[in-house]
Structure 1
């Protein structure tokens, strides 16, 4: 019997799919070992993800910031950097968008873009800090971005309490002219909180693909990431490109925060703990293969898992925390991609 021919490109597409399937299978095993019915659990999960228009709308809404967080991680990674500071960049972007949405008085056609731009600038500035330290002094960006997450968390907490506190540790609501909420999308999806941020997320995914794969700037950024010494010898400004790469990655994350501030919540809570979106973005980028369009699909899956987790508890009496176990195993299998690639190559004539 002839072997199936799988190209390296096809294997690259199959690895995240196989990882997701294996993660779900391990989740089913965990359910059985724990005394729960995996069929009922996954049935409830499917119903909570796409079973009704409202469920699908909530899946898409949860997906929106995950797309931006995933793009932020992926952009930095494609240029040879590890951006673990997406959570902090998202928080400062969230705050900046809410401040602009509350303080400015403009028509919607100006107010919404300026609020999103403010979030992008704030996230970009937060990304410049580790980029500058990396480019100028060779400071490890992983350590700096992790530390800056905590700085952003407590700085936004203080700023909300100091400048925007409307009581109960929440900021004032944004002006209606800055809101991304959509009555039309809500009606179409049965009363979900889906908003126009879904369009912004799609545009940003296309922008990331175009910038990194279709422009001279993207080529230069990738070249610096692959080999800094060769890039420097070729006349490229390595330090400048590192700073630029981290600032663009931070801008993507900041826009992700704006999607929460202008879309889902219309305000910002003075948080004492992280949202988790930035860290989930790392998993989304891994599962999406650091590809803009793969990230859209990965964010859709993770958004569905996150939004439907309570449905498993209510309908099938399966603890919603099990979703975190499934996600962890998906990440584990993605991280084991070398083994999966080897197994898939064995099925291919190219693997001989």
Structure 2
């Protein structure tokens, strides 16, 4: 007797389950924020309305949304590279700081270069600095088994202190012409050209999108990406297949750091034009939520980065108009991560229940 194949159910489609997972996490997070705003005496409708107005209501506001999106793309690319290899890079903030330090130094100390060459040197320098900052925790993990979360968090503190020292009163990069703890401004040849008049948007956004394509190609079209993902899926199976686990752990953490360094370099070259302590408002931490919301895919993080760019830029007007602290965005970010984690077991439970039911029906028919 021919065996009847189980009919296709909508919930068996992984893409549908993924869409439900992401949508549910976002809806629940913003609903949670709505309730918190209401309970604390704020008008949730006014707060969310002013947030959207700040992000989209003006040319400047939308430009700031895109500006915030750029470093989030770079950082989340670094995060998903590590995560795909079974690693958790918590050191992106430190890698941003090191990339910014090197980009600023190369930006103001080198003279007489054409803009294309000068900017390229600065970005390469920032990438190397970030990569080296990722290499340290990577080699500690690969050779000595020290967990990368511990290693990267410790490196963050070191990077923060180095950044603060560099522009302190007697620091080697301190601008002596100002009392502000900052470096001299970079040369005009090192500044990224702004591409939208009336905003601060620079061509770094195109570089960020291009890097997403590069990471997609590395992950899904190269041997390196295949082996990297194999290590992340099952280290024992990967080792049995002849993959050098320590090598790929170290390499992946280094590559992850490269993107953090580029993020810091682009922030200096395209936005701030000088180094100052703690110039990153937490993009490295937000990248964790962006990577998870983007489903660990180089294209998915483009949309997720834009969403978080909206939250960051819109929160300024939300605070001014509705009196809601910008910290509310951090609350929403944390809740998004929480609900993304919660939807995994729920989605798996639904999928397993439907699979059992349908295979049970098949066995009855045969």
TM-score, normalised to structure 2's length? 0.88
Q: Which of these residues, 167, 172, 176, is aligned with residue 188 of structure 2?
A: 176
The equivalent of 2:55 in structure 1 is: 49
Shift of 1:91: 0.6
The equivalent of 2:158 in structure 1 is: 151
- For the residues of structure 2 that align with 1:8 and 1:150, how far apart are their CA atoms? 40
Q: Encode CA deviations 1:127-165: one digit per residue, 9 max, x unaligned.
A: 111111111111111101110000111112223342211
Q: Which moved more, 1:342-351 or 1:120-129?
A: 342-351
Q: Does 1:101 align with 2:107?
A: yes
Q: Encode CA deviations 1:178-215: one digit per residue, 9 max, x unaligned.
A: 11141x41x1xxx2211111111111111111111111
- For the residues of structure 2 that align with 1:326 and 1:224, how far apart are their CA atoms? 32
Q: Does 1:275 align with 2:311?
A: no
Shift of 1:260: 0.9
The equivalent of 2:4 in structure 1 is: none
Q: Which moved more, 1:341-350 or 1:222-231?
A: 341-350
Work out whether residues 3 and 348 of structure 1, in 8 Å CA contact, stay in contact via their aligned partners in 2: no
Work out whether residues 48 and 311 of structure 1, in 8 Å CA contact, stay in contact via their aligned partners in 2: yes
Q: Does 1:165 align with 2:174?
A: yes
The equivalent of 2:238 in structure 1 is: 231
Shift of 1:343: 7.6
CA shift in 2, pair 1:275/1:51, >3 Å: closer
The equivalent of 2:272 in structure 1 is: 265
Q: Does 1:247 align with 2:254?
A: yes
Work out whether residues 130 and 258 of structure 2, in 8 Å CA contact, stay in contact via their aligned partners in 1: yes
- For the residues of structure 1 that align with 2:31 and 2:274, how far apart are their CA atoms? 39
The equivalent of 1:5 in structure 2 is: 10
- For the residues of structure 2 that align with 1:328 and 1:305, how far apart are their CA atoms? 13
Any runs of at least 4 consecutive aligned residues in structure 1 with deviations exceeding 6 A, and if so which?
A: 346-351
The equivalent of 1:296 in structure 2 is: 302
Shift of 1:112: 1.0
TM-score, normalised to structure 1's length? 0.92
* Count of residues in correspondence between the two structures: 345
Structure exhibiting the larger radius of gyration computed from Cα positions: 2
Q: Secondary structure at the match of 2:10?
A: coil
Q: Secondary structure at the match of 1:239?
A: helix
The equivalent of 1:219 in structure 2 is: 226
The equivalent of 1:256 in structure 2 is: 263
CA shift in 2, pair 1:132/1:297, >3 Å: same
Shift of 1:346: 9.2
Shift of 1:348: 7.4
CA shift in 2, pair 1:18/1:160, >3 Å: same
Q: Which ranges in structure 1 are unaligned for 5 or more consecutive residues?
A: none
Q: Which moved more, 1:118-127 or 1:131-140?
A: 131-140
CA shift in 2, pair 1:344/1:295, >3 Å: farther
Work out whether residues 29 and 336 of structure 2, in 8 Å CA contact, stay in contact via their aligned partners in 1: yes
Work out whether residues 85 and 146 of structure 1, in 8 Å CA contact, stay in contact via their aligned partners in 2: yes
CA shift in 2, pair 1:137/1:3, >3 Å: closer
- For the residues of structure 1 that align with 2:182 and 2:256, how far apart are their CA atoms? 27
The equivalent of 2:364 in structure 1 is: none
Q: Secondary structure at the match of 2:273?
A: coil
Shift of 1:265: 0.4
- For the residues of structure 2 that align with 1:279 and 1:46, how far apart are their CA atoms? 23
CA shift in 2, pair 1:107/1:211, >3 Å: same
- For the residues of structure 1 that align with 2:137 and 2:145, how far apart are their CA atoms? 10
Shift of 1:219: 0.5
Q: Which ranges in structure 2 are unaligned for 5 or more consecutive residues?
A: 1-6, 359-366
